[in-house]
A = this chain, B = another copy of it.
Amino acid sequence: MIPLARRLDAVRGSAIRDLLTLTARPDVLSLAGGLPAADLLPRERIATAATLALTDPANAQYSATMGVAELRGVLADHESVRAGRPVTPDQVVVTTGSQQALDLLARTLLDPGDPVVVEDPVYVGALQVLQAAGAELHPVPLDGDGMRVDVLADRLAAGLRPRLVHTVSSFHNPRGVTLAQDRRRALAELADRYGFLVVEDDPYGLLAFDGVPPRPVAAYGERVVRLGSASKVLAPALRVGWLTGPLEVCAAVERVKQLTDLCTSSLTQAIAAELLADTAWFDAHLKQVRAVTAERALAFTDAVAELLPGVECSTPTGGMFCWLAFPDGTDTAALLPRALEAGVGFVPGSAFAVGDEPRTTEARCCYASYPPETVREAVRRLASVVHTAAT
């Protein structure tokens, strides 16, 4: 028996996770994962970029902990456009996926017991990181316009003093909603007034179906750390994410990143830099990803409306997820094993519960991984077990 760290007890074990491994069975259509569509991953373009990158010995070596200069330059340019004000390369830290950015921020900024505001339902990756950091979680509900910033304002007025406020601002995982612009402004103002940092977790912003990524929270104030990712717009296998924010945060994050993994792959950073800097290619690629994903989203919502009447479904305007609610009281965790038998997987709402709401009658579905007809078939399989359950 090898004893584990007591502090690991705070990281939620996941009974659901064991079930979710079943969604990888070849006979299961999985609406569970957050996987980009395999057919849209630009593998040939990545292979060409890899071959080019490897003509330079530097791209086979260790790189600077903050990231490769070319990539940080491209990202600073992109972020400057998004934020509508200059973001310099020394305000960018490249991370091993944006999950690492979350973990590094928590390790850099939080001591055990520090209060942190999260959204309810919450992004599970953020929840795990914050639990591991020993943070004291304060959930704030979402509605159709994203985080209830008015509720947050009330809590702050009543004395809550969080170190961080985490938000998936655009095309929320798991809830599918987008934070309204007036709420973004209000959130940035609250950060200035009360001295907290907003962690604006934004892997999906560029997947706005209308081609116009929402103006970020960071456009309204400087106490914002933005997280981005190449996983949803290029390929997850690059493991390239990034954070942009105040210089002092970047410098401290660098110190923690060094002991965490020394640096992110210089090879995959060079690939990402090449692809993101090739504006003509990248714009065309994004346009295609958006169009295809929007088509799948429509196939999903149409099928739900037709085959799961009475089930409430969020209206996707970007990103990869729909949120289902079963007003008839269907227990989605109990439904999952039967859904898997019928050949379809999803994530029960309870996996994202963080506040008083147990979310037992809700579910997250990813519509992005399959072509429209397969998405429809997945909903049909789901409907078959929901209807059996109801009788």
Interface, chain A (partner B; CB < 8 A): 1-8, 11, 33, 35-36, 38-39, 41, 43-44, 46-47, 50-51, 54-55, 57, 59-63, 96-97, 99-100, 103, 107-111, 114, 125, 128-129, 132, 163, 197, 223, 231, 235-239, 246, 248-249, 252, 255-256, 258-268
- Neighbouring B residues of A63 by C-beta, 8 Å: 237
**A154–B369 alpha-carbon span in the complex (Å):** 60
Contact assessment for A259 and B103 in the assembled complex, using a CB-CB cutoff below 8 Å: yes
Among residues of B, the one whose C-beta sits closest to the C-beta of A104 is B260
Number of copies of this chain that the complex holds = 2
Contact assessment for A108 and B5 in the assembled complex, using a CB-CB cutoff below 8 Å: yes
Cβ of A221 to closest chain B Cβ, rounded Å: 13
Knowing A2-B249, A125-B259 are in contact, say whether A43-B55 is a contact too (CB < 8 A).
yes
Among residues of B, the one whose C-beta sits closest to the C-beta of A267 is B237
Contact assessment for B237 and A261 in the assembled complex, using a CB-CB cutoff below 8 Å: no
- Neighbouring B residues of A3 by C-beta, 8 Å: 109, 163
- Neighbouring B residues of A107 by C-beta, 8 Å: 5, 8, 132
- Neighbouring B residues of A57 by C-beta, 8 Å: 38-39, 41, 43
Contact assessment for A239 and B111 in the assembled complex, using a CB-CB cutoff below 8 Å: no
Specify the main secondary structure of chain A where it touches its partner. helix
Chain A to chain B contacts (Cβ below 8 Å), 5 pairs: A96-B96, A103-B259, A125-B262, A132-B256, A265-B268
Contact assessment for B262 and A99 in the assembled complex, using a CB-CB cutoff below 8 Å: yes
Contact assessment for A236 and B60 in the assembled complex, using a CB-CB cutoff below 8 Å: yes
- Neighbouring B residues of A252 by C-beta, 8 Å: 4, 8
Candidates B50, B61, B108; contact of A38 at CB < 8 Å = B61
**A259–B123 alpha-carbon span in the complex (Å):** 12
**A71–B36 alpha-carbon span in the complex (Å):** 23
Among residues of B, the one whose C-beta sits closest to the C-beta of A57 is B38
- Neighbouring B residues of A268 by C-beta, 8 Å: 265, 267-268
Contact assessment for A260 and B51 in the assembled complex, using a CB-CB cutoff below 8 Å: no
Contact assessment for A260 and B61 in the assembled complex, using a CB-CB cutoff below 8 Å: no
Knowing A100-B260, A128-B258 are in contact, say whether A61-B236 is a contact too (CB < 8 A).
yes
- Neighbouring B residues of A255 by C-beta, 8 Å: 8, 11
- Neighbouring B residues of A262 by C-beta, 8 Å: 97, 99, 125
Contact assessment for B265 and A132 in the assembled complex, using a CB-CB cutoff below 8 Å: no
Among residues of B, the one whose C-beta sits closest to the C-beta of A43 is B54
- Neighbouring B residues of A249 by C-beta, 8 Å: 2
- Neighbouring B residues of A223 by C-beta, 8 Å: 2
Contact assessment for A110 and B5 in the assembled complex, using a CB-CB cutoff below 8 Å: yes
- Neighbouring B residues of A237 by C-beta, 8 Å: 59-63, 265-267
Contact assessment for B2 and A246 in the assembled complex, using a CB-CB cutoff below 8 Å: yes
Contact assessment for B51 and A108 in the assembled complex, using a CB-CB cutoff below 8 Å: no
Contact assessment for B261 and A7 in the assembled complex, using a CB-CB cutoff below 8 Å: no
- Neighbouring B residues of A260 by C-beta, 8 Å: 99-100, 103, 260
- Neighbouring B residues of A246 by C-beta, 8 Å: 2
Closest 6 CB pairs of A and B: A128-B259, A41-B60, A50-B50, A237-B267, A60-B235, A47-B54
Among residues of B, the one whose C-beta sits closest to the C-beta of A132 is B259
Knowing A54-B47, A248-B2 are in contact, say whether A238-B259 is a contact too (CB < 8 A).
no
- Neighbouring B residues of A5 by C-beta, 8 Å: 107-111, 114
Candidates B36, B39, B55, B62; contact of A35 at CB < 8 Å = B62
- Neighbouring B residues of A60 by C-beta, 8 Å: 38, 41, 43, 46, 235-237
Contact assessment for B7 and A111 in the assembled complex, using a CB-CB cutoff below 8 Å: yes
